[in-house]
C-alpha cells in the first residue's frame, strides 16, 4: 500500500541568516510542522544554492553550544569546516555528511572552508537536528565523519540514478551512520525520467525535500524546494523525476517523550533545561576559541 501524502509545502517564506555564512529556509518546524509530528527530527534548515561570492573574511557561525540531540550536516555544493570543544575538526565537502552527537554537551563552530571562501561559488547545504531519547541525552559527545566515498550506495536499474544511504536501509543497501533510534536518511539522485520504489515502515514519521529538480511522488507533483510530508499509513513510496533531481528522504521512529527546548538545548523537562544552561555557564561543555 502506498503512503498517502499529508501535505506538500512550497519553499517557506523568506530565508534567514544563521551567522553570516548560512542563508537558510526553515522547513522544520517553520513550515507549520511541529517537532512532535515529525519526531525524531527537530529542525531542518535548507541553504538552497546561493553564491556568497569570494571573500577573505571567513563566513560562518561562531562558537555555540549544543546539548541533548544530534546535528546532521549534508553538503551538496561548497565546503564547510568545523571545530568542537572535544578536539574534533574537519572539512565537509560535497557529498560528505557530518553527524555530530552533542549528547551531554559540546561547543561547536562551523564556517566556510578557507579555500572555498576565497574562491567563492555555489553553496548548498542541509542541516537537520535529530532528537535523542532521554536515556541517551547524556552520552559523551562525539561525531561521525561520513565521506562520499565511504557512503552506502544503491545503483538504480536502467540508469535511473543512485541513492547515497546516509542512515538506515534502502532496498538492502545499508547506511554508514550509527543512530540511537531507527532513522532512514537517503540522498537520492535521479536522472530525468528515472524512477525508484522503496518501502518505509508505516509507523515512521516520513518526509522528503526536493533539493533540486521536480518529481512525481506517489502520483503528486512536488516542485523544486518542496517539502512533502507523508501520513503514517502505508509503506510504499514511488518517485519519478520529471527532470534531473536531487531528493533528501528522511524517516524515523517517533520518540514518544516530552520535548522541552531552549535555543541549542533540547531536553525532556524545564528543570533539565535549567541544568543545561548552568552546565554551559560553568564551563562543563569545554573550551573552544
What is the spatial distance between Cα 153 and Cα 176, in angstroms, rounded to a whole number?
A: 10
Please state the domain extents for the chain.
5-282
Q: What residues in the chain have per-residue pLDDT under 70?
A: none
| Rounded Cα distance, 2 and 41, in Å | 22
What DSSP element (H or E) covers 123? strand 122-131
What pLDDT does 11 receive? 82
Is 108 marked within a binding site? yes
The CATH fold assigned to 5-282 is: Jelly Rolls (2.60.120)
Residue 260: helix, strand or coil by DSSP? strand
Q: Cβ distance 186 to 251 under 8 Å?
A: no
Question: What is the model's pLDDT at position 254?
Answer: 98
pLDDT of the residue at 33: 84
Residue 110 among known ligand-binding residues: yes
Local structure of 42: helix, strand or coil = strand
272 appears as a binding residue in the annotation = no
SS3 117: helix
Round to whole Å and give the CA distance between 181 and 194. 31
Cβ atoms of residues 284 and 86 within 8 Å: no
User: Do residues 76 and 244 make contact, with C-beta atoms less than 8 angstroms apart?
Assistant: no
pTM: 0.97
Q: What is the model's pLDDT at position 34?
A: 85
Residue 66 known to bind ligand: yes
- Residue 110: what pLDDT? 97
- Position 172 scores a pLDDT of 97
Q: Could you give the 3-state DSSP secondary structure of residue 33?
A: coil
Amino acid at each position: 500500500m502506498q503512503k498517502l501524502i499529508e501535505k506538500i509545502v512550497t519553499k517557506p517564506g523568506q530565508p534567514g541568516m544563521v551567522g553570516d555564512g548560512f542563508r537558510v529556509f526553515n522547513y522544520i518546524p517553520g513550515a507549520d510542522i511541529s517537532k512532535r509530528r515529525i519526531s525524531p527530527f527537530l529542525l531542518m534548515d535548507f541553504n538552497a544554492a546561493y553564491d556568497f561570492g569570494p571573500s577573505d573574511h571567513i563566513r560562518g557561525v561562531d562558537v555555540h553550544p549544543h546539548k541533548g540531540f544530534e546535528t546532521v550536516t549534508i553538503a551538496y555544493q561548497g565546503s564547510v569546516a568545523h571545530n568542537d570543544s572535544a578536539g574534533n575538526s574537519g572539512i565537509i565537502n560535497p557529498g560528505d555528511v557530518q553527524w555530530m552527537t552533542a549528547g551531554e554537551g559540546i561547543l561547536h563552530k562551523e564556517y566556510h572552508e578557507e579555500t572555498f571562501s576565497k574562491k567563492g561559488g555555489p553553496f548548498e547545504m542541509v542541516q537537520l537536528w535529530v532528537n535523542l531519547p532521554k536515556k541517551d541525552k547524556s552520552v559523551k559527545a562525539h561525531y561521525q565523519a561520513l565521506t562520499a566515498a565511504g557512503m552506502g550506495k544503491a545503483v538504480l536499474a536502467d540508469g535511473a540514478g543512485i541513492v547515497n544511504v546516509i542512515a538506515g536501509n534502502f532496498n538492502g543497501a545499508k547506511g554508514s551512520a550509527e543512530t540511537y533510534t531507527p532513522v532512514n536518511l537517503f540522498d537520492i539522485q535521479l536522472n530525468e525520467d528515472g524512477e525508484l520504489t522503496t518501502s518505509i515502515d508505516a509507523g515512521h514519521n516520513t518526509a522528503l525535500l526536493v533539493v533540486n529538480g521536480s518529481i512525481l511522488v506517489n502520483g503528486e507533483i512536488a516542485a523544486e524546494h518542496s517539502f512533502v510530508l507523508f501520513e503514517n499509513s502505508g509503506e510504499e513510496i514511488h518517485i519519478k523525476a520529471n527532470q534531473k533531481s536531487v531528493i533528501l528522504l528522511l524517516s524515523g521512529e517517533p520518540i514518544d517523550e516530552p520535548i522541552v527546548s531552549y535555543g541549542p538545548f533540547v531536553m525532556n523537562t524545564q528543570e533539565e533545561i535549567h541544568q543545561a544552561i548552568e552546565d554551559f555557564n560553568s564551563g562543563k561543555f569545554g573550551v573552544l576559541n
